[in-house]
Amino acid sequence: MPERIEPCLALLKARPPKGDNWVYEIKWDGYRLAVHIEPRGVRVLTRSGLDWTHRFPLIEAAAKALPVSTAIVDGEAVVLDERGRSDFGLLQQSLGGRGGKKRSSNAVFMAFDLLYFDGHDLRKSELDVRRHLLEDLVPAGGQGDIRLSEEIEADGDQLLASACEHDLEGIIAKRRDAPYRFGRLGDWVKIKCVQSDSFVIVGYERSTVARAGIGRLLLSARKGKTLVYVGGVGTGFNERNAYELRERLDRLITSTPAAVVDRKGAIFVKPKLIAEIEYRAWTEDGKLRHASYKGLREEQDNADVYDLE
């Protein structure tokens, strides 16, 4: 049984792919995890291989109760709001914020793939085969702490429209006949209702009226090995996360900007914090349009910072 499996990642596309060879799921907004079930116990690993078993005790307990001796289940830890939608901010709160040490008492695991099962490595098997075995292990319609991310038979465009109408993040399309392969190879495709990506915080602007005195966060994307300023965000903060964020920012203040930022009065910080930002589009000069702050990502978990091609 592999100690760890590098995850298959979804390639971002503007429209859903067409054809009978594609199946769809809802896109979940949380932390990608792999749940390893072994005779010696359960391990809950993050995308980069960190052991976060202690942070998801309910998922660990639910995994121990599954009727299998060895398995690796791929999925996403999420916290659902009152309408059943995954909410990244609620998940962060349940874990005590970025860098927090809390154990989540309300995260559930949405299982969407089965990579290893009772001594058999399934990575070379087609998705349809893996899903059939997964659905036997985690039946559809369950309301426990491990749930099945159900496949939806539908027209991709209609499903995307419905997802957006219900304020979901988007959908995922997967090739039925594809094996499980590491990286963004196009076997899985994500289509978003609203763009949401991770950016490095390189500074902020003070405000005399905004919460915690943060008027705007200054954001950068990666371009090769350098950081490029892509604008700022001044909305999406609440009372709690604004003050926690200001404390973290003030500990990182530096006189050396990590990116070229032409903003008078900007306070620069070391590029250690990664923010998840929702936005509508890009301006012609390469800045985010209608951006809103969603929360902080975990830097040590290799959060995907937006890459300017």
Tell whether the model's pLDDT for residue 100 goes beyond 80: no
In this prediction, residues 254-272 reach a mean pLDDT of 91
At 38-62, the pLDDT tens digits run: 999 999 999 989 999 999 999 999 9
Q: Return the pLDDT at 302.
A: 57
The question of whether 27 is a catalytic residue gets the answer: yes
Q: Return the pLDDT at 68.
A: 95
Tell whether the model's pLDDT for residue 274 goes beyond 70: yes
pLDDT band for position 195 (cuts 50, 70, 90) = confident
Burial class (CB in 10 A: 0-12, 13-18, 19+), 238: exposed
Q: Return the pLDDT at 119.
A: 93
**240, two tokens:** 């709690």
Catalytic residue among 13, 18, 27, 294: 27
State the average pLDDT for the chain: 91
- In percent, the amount of the chain with pLDDT more than 70 equals 97
Q: Is it true that domain 11-192 has CATH number 3.40.50.880?
A: no
Query: Which is more confident, 118 or 96?
Result: 118
pLDDT band for position 95 (cuts 50, 70, 90) = confident
At 138-167, the pLDDT tens digits run: 998 889 999 999 999 889 999 999 998 888
Residue in the block written with tokens 């920012």: 249
| Nearest Cα to Cα of residue 60 among 82, 38, 79, 81 | 38
In this prediction, residues 77-91 reach a mean pLDDT of 90
Residue boundaries of the structural domains of the chain: 11-192, 195-301
Tell whether the model's pLDDT for residue 300 goes beyond 60: no
In this prediction, residues 171-196 reach a mean pLDDT of 93
CB–CB of 295/98 below 8 Å? yes
In this prediction, residues 253-278 reach a mean pLDDT of 92
In this prediction, residues 78-88 reach a mean pLDDT of 90
Tell whether the model's pLDDT for residue 289 goes beyond 90: no
Model confidence, pTM = 0.74
Q: Which residues pair with 8 in a beta bridge?
A: 183
How would DSSP label each residue in the chain? --S--PPB-PEE-SS---STTEEEEEPP-SEEEEEEEETTEEEEEETT--B-GGG-HHHHHHHHTSS-SSEEEEEEEE-B-TTS-B-HHHHHHHTTSTT--PPPSS-EEEEEEEEEETTEE-TTS-HHHHHHHHHHHS-TT--SSEEE---B-S-HHHHHHHHHHTT--EEEEEETT----SB-SSSEEEEESSEEEEEEEEEEEE-SSSGGGEEEEEEEEEETTEEEEEEEE--S--HHHHHHHHHHHHTTB-SS-SS----TT-EEB-TT-EEEEEESEE-TTS-EES-EEEEEE-GGGT--B-B--
Tell whether the model's pLDDT for residue 10 goes beyond 90: yes
- What fold does the segment set 195-301 form as a domain? OB fold (Dihydrolipoamide Acetyltransferase, E2P) (2.40.50)
Tell whether the model's pLDDT for residue 19 goes beyond 70: yes
pLDDT band for position 301 (cuts 50, 70, 90) = low
